[in-house]
Structure 1
């Protein structure tokens, strides 16, 4: 019996309209009632994920900022935190300026952009958080960032990702979370390492964990879980890594997975014990 399920948000738990179906909410709450730890593993910033978790009735530590921060949905002290060092942030900010690419940064649960443009405004609206304009991002970088996010066309980001991996090597984690999003975090800030850290804190074995995602930044989540699930709308690379492929995010793929691997097995066990 699985004791923990970690679910990505965008493209996974959330539909393309950024909603969660009532049936999925009900299944999540039933799983929690049965003692299963249901948590969120997202690249989103903590305040954005927190709002969704509280709407779902979850009172557990969440994995946010791509794994850079683990913190309870109800607040309190961080269980784990990994910030991007100044040297890495400096290189990314300089590259963004040289290439005239949009970059935004995250510090103390605040989203900062050097300018107010269509990209940061669209992102802010999508995730439901505000942003602040700070022309000197390097000044902020001295205190460390949870992550840096490049937003641009897919082809440009593919080239940038290769360039950054060559430049930074193992000094940073560089992953695409969407076609137009390229995220840079601390080298130990990925969903997989965060998941295993959280599971250890909760006394849950890797074999007892389900991880569900849809994009490149979910690869470590799917690989680190004892049972990895890719959504039907997932990128091909993630489907190849996964143990199972569910329905898409618009077809209640998370609901399908919870029913199949959490609720139905427990129902069958309960029937057998009667």
Structure 2
């Protein structure tokens, strides 16, 4: 019997119109009615993720910043938090400055950038997130952050990823949430670590958990869960490691999983 479901948001829970469909909403409610813990696991900031979580009526801790922050929806208590090591943040900032890369960071759930550009504007439109500009960005870098993000051409990001692994060391986790978003967290800031933490928090055995996602940043939680599910629209690499491939985000893929494995429809 599955007792905890962690669901990615973008291209998983929500369709291409950025909506949770009524059919998927009903499935979530039916799962909760069966005492299944349903949570979100996203790369989004808490402020962005909580809007969707509240729309769906969920009232549990949610996994945000790729797993670097787990926070209650009701009282906003922080249950799990991992910051990018300061030395790594400094090195990353200097590297991005030297190589003219767009870097943004998050302090107290607010998004900061050194300057306004189209990458920042497009990102904030996509995530419905306000931004703050700090020209003296070295000030921001010294403050604790759950996630730093580089936005660039996918090929460029693939090219610099091994360089950043070498530069930043083993204390950080680097992943892509979308082809053009390269995200840097603490090494324990993964959806897999956060899922394990929540399972322990709710006293659920890992074999009784389901994780659903579409991108490579979901692979740790799919591998950690008792049932790892890739969306029909997921990248091929995720489908290859998944226990089950459901329908796409435009075909109520999340509902399909809940019907099959929780409601036994």
TM-score range, shorter chain: over 0.9
1:72-101 Cα deviation digits (max 9, x unpaired): 122432001101121111111111112211
**Any runs of at least 4 consecutive aligned residues in structure 1 with deviations exceeding 6 A, and if so which?**
none
Aligned twin of 1:80: 80
Q: Alignment length, in residue pairs?
A: 265
Corresponding position: 1:55 with 2:55 = yes
8 Å contact from structure 2 (residues 214, 235) kept in 1: yes
Q: Distance in 2 between matches of 1:94 and 1:150?
A: 13
The two structures have a TM-score, normalised by structure 1, of 0.94
Aligned twin of 1:120: 120
Q: Distance in 1 between matches of 2:109 and 2:75?
A: 12
Q: Distance in 2 between matches of 1:34 and 1:13?
A: 20
1:213-268 Cα deviation digits (max 9, x unpaired): 11110010100111100011111111111100011111111111111111126xxx
In the TM superposition, 1:84-95 aligns within 5 A as 84-95=84-95
Corresponding position: 1:153 with 2:153 = yes
- List alignment gaps of at least 5 residues for structure 1: 266-274
Matched residue of 1:234: which SS?
coil
Corresponding position: 1:185 with 2:205 = no
Q: Distance in 1 between matches of 2:87 and 2:252?
A: 42
Aligned twin of 2:66: 66
Aligned twin of 2:194: 194
Q: Distance in 2 between matches of 1:120 and 1:263?
A: 42
Structure 1 position 139, deviation (Å): 1.1
- List alignment gaps of at least 5 residues for structure 2: none
Q: Distance in 1 between matches of 2:162 and 2:237?
A: 17
Q: CA RMSD in A?
A: 1.0
The two structures have a TM-score, normalised by structure 2, of 0.98
8 Å contact from structure 2 (residues 93, 141) kept in 1: no
Matched residue of 1:19: which SS?
coil
Matched residue of 1:89: which SS?
helix
1:30-54 Cα deviation digits (max 9, x unpaired): 1111100000000000010000000
